[in-house]
Amino acid sequence: MMEEENTHDLEDDGFEIQEEKVVVAREIRVPKIPPDLAHKWLTWQCKMVAGIIRGAIFVPPEVGVLDPPITLWPNEGEGEEQLADIANQVFTGKTDVVLSKYPYGPNNQRSCDLVACPLLIDKQIVGVVTLMISHRSESQLNTVLNLMKWGGLWMKTLVSQKMSAQQEMGIYSLSLSAAIIKESSSHEAAINMANQIADHFSCERVSIGFREDMPIRLQAISHVASFDDRTQLVRRIESAMEESVDQSSAIILPKTQKSTSVVALAHEELAAQDSGGSICTLPLPGRLGAIGAITLERGLDQPFKENEVELCESLASFIGPALELKRLDERSFWTKTAEEFGKIADGLLGGAYLKLKISLGVILTILIMSAIIKGDYEVTAQASIEGSVRQLLVAPHNAYVKESLATAGDLVEKGQLIALLDDSDLQLERLKWQSEFNKIEKEYQEALAKHDRIEVGIQDALRNQIKAELLLVEEQINRTKLSAPFDGILVSGDLSQSLGVPVEKGQVLFEVAPLTSYRVVLEVEDRDIAGLRTGNSGKLIIAALPLSLFNVSIEQVIPVAVSKDDKNFFRVVATLDEQSELLLPGMQGVAKVEVERRSLLWIWSHSMIDRIRLWFWSLG
């Protein structure tokens, strides 16, 4: 009834923390055997029966595998494996087990009797007690089994009493925590706590103090509305609290066996002021250490027992965090903001995940610096050398290759003979027209001698016509001699392996480029062409001349795309600022054209960002 009433009160208050802590209080009711209690009970049980070799108590396994025993008697000995085997049988069958003449020892040379029975509390198996004893008759084994069962009833009583005390203290702690939350300030909560604890533990005085920076300042005294913090009593209580907090330990007067190793000078002075008395001071735990202390005082005839100190320590562990939360809520907005920034800074600069933070810091620094520092944005493109003027030598008419005097790559001078075409047919045609001209010339002379003007006019016209045919044939014969139009280099053309091969009129046979005038043709991808303008300058490196750097300037951007290797390119014509004898037409290289000044971050990332934008656009 007491638990139900307290639980009802907590639920009526409407605090979320109460619902969670009520669950904790219910979990306390789960039957569990304390190891110290189990050891005392087993020792008493084994001493009652003669011939006990070994005894053990096992608790129910949590994950299907039997845990080691919570206690053994005697602590040193053999037979633990045999005791575990019979305990497993009890947990499986949930009934008593008696085994006679069970082998054990080195090579199982000895034998013993095993007796095991479950320990029940509220019809639940909370443990199994197992005994290894010397050989007994069946009736004697049953007697031992009955003694164990009767002892189990005593165990049930002890465990139930301890559970009840823990449960009661848990509910009382919850009620105190709820009372702290309901108070409007930490000062009022401390006064309420001091009054309730003084009544519960029958104390003459209960004091609660909070740490203010380093010293502790008294906040509340039970059943006292106000007090002067300059009095000697208050100073001595504060000194006693600091003494406990500095040692991170409970201090009890009169000293118990547990507190003999602590310094208690301030407590002795406090006790002497009241002509002696019993004192118990406990630190109040918080997130980062003790937030203060609580001091309980009562008459010398009422010393604090060990179980009372344990209950007070459990109580302090409840109300300490609750009071700390109340004090944290009372802080100013600026203090809370500063603390949050401190947490963020500690998370960013603290020692946790140090390698990751260093890596992220380096990356962030690089990104920031690259966004600030500017550099030259350059467009990179494949480049080739071409002559500024290209002269094509073509076949003047249908003919055959007679002789080749030069091949591609040869340097030629203006007028130098490069190749000869067969002119035998043209020579015959020239003879034909020459004969025809001689005939007409003779007829023209005869008409002139006869003063036949009409005939003279006719023959003169025929003579001029034949002269034109002769001139045409002569010109065709001259064109069979392919000569260099200027000093330069043969870029293409090789007829040395094509002698006697027919060529058609207009067929390109050779290509000649000048040696002193070149241009650079760049193949710029379509994603980079938007930034190029006439007049942009850049650098050129030729694959055949990797140590030489040539300056170029954009002369013309040809707005016609060319497809090549599944990509679109635009041809950009550039001129060399200085001509070089090292360059030859047809050489390949890489050119970098300066476009504008941009941040390094944009230069490194713009290509990827543009591709992502285009991809998202295509999805829409």
Contacts of 426 (CB under 8 A, 6+ apart): 473, 476, 477, 480
Does pLDDT of 160 surpass 80?
Answer: no
pLDDT top residue among 103 and 151? 103
Q: Do 298 and 278 meet the contact criterion of CB atoms below 8 Å apart?
A: yes
User: Hey, is 527 helix, strand or coil?
Assistant: coil
What pLDDT was estimated at residue 77? 85
What pLDDT was estimated at residue 209? 93
Residue 136 φ/ψ, nearest 5 degrees: -135, 165
Does pLDDT of 531 surpass 90?
Answer: no
Tell me the pLDDT tens digit for each residue of 535-591: 889 999 999 888 889 999 998 888 888 888 778 889 899 988 887 878 877 889 999
Q: Do 406 and 412 meet the contact criterion of CB atoms below 8 Å apart?
A: yes
- What helix, strand, coil percent values describe the chain, rounded to 5? 45, 30, 25
Distance, in Å, from the CA atom of 227 to the CA atom of 207, rounded to the nearest integer, reads 12
Q: Over pLDDT 70: what percentage of the chain?
A: 88
Tell me the pLDDT tens digit for each residue of 556-570: 888 888 888 778 889
Contacts of 400 (CB under 8 A, 6+ apart): 421, 422, 500, 501, 502, 503
* Window from 6-15, 222-231, 461-470 with minimum mean pLDDT: 6-15
Confidence band for 72, pLDDT divided at 50, 70 and 90: very high
User: Using CA atoms in the order 599, 603, 608, 609, what is the torsion angle rounded to 10 degrees?
Assistant: 30
What pLDDT was estimated at residue 174? 62
Contacts of 525 (CB under 8 A, 6+ apart): 381, 567, 568, 569
Does pLDDT of 62 surpass 80?
Answer: no
Q: Do 394 and 512 meet the contact criterion of CB atoms below 8 Å apart?
A: no
| 287-294 average pLDDT score | 88
Distance, in Å, from the CA atom of 186 to the CA atom of 329, rounded to the nearest integer, reads 9
| 375-390 average pLDDT score | 84
For tokens 């870029």, the residue is 491
330: nearest Cα among 487, 180, 147, 112: 180
Q: Do 382 and 592 meet the contact criterion of CB atoms below 8 Å apart?
A: no
| 382-386 average pLDDT score | 87
3-state SS of 38-93 is HHHHHHHHHHHCCCEEEEEEECCCCCCCCCCCCEEECCCCCCHHHHHHHHHHHHHH
Does pLDDT of 377 surpass 80?
Answer: yes
DSSP state of 423: -
Domain architecture of the chain: domains with CATH: 35-169 (3.30.450.40), 184-332 (3.30.450.40), 353-388+517-610 (2.40.30.170), 391-509 (no CATH)
Distance, in Å, from the CA atom of 618 to the CA atom of 616, rounded to the nearest integer, reads 5
pLDDT top residue among 369 and 512? 369
Highest mean pLDDT among 361-365, 427-431, 506-510: 361-365
What pLDDT was estimated at residue 131? 92
Burial class (CB in 10 A: 0-12, 13-18, 19+), 608: exposed
pTM of the model: 0.41
Does pLDDT of 359 surpass 80?
Answer: yes
Does pLDDT of 369 surpass 80?
Answer: yes
What pLDDT was estimated at residue 205? 92
What pLDDT was estimated at residue 16? 35
| 140-153 average pLDDT score | 80
Q: Is 565 left (phi over 0), alpha (psi -120 to 50) or beta?
A: left
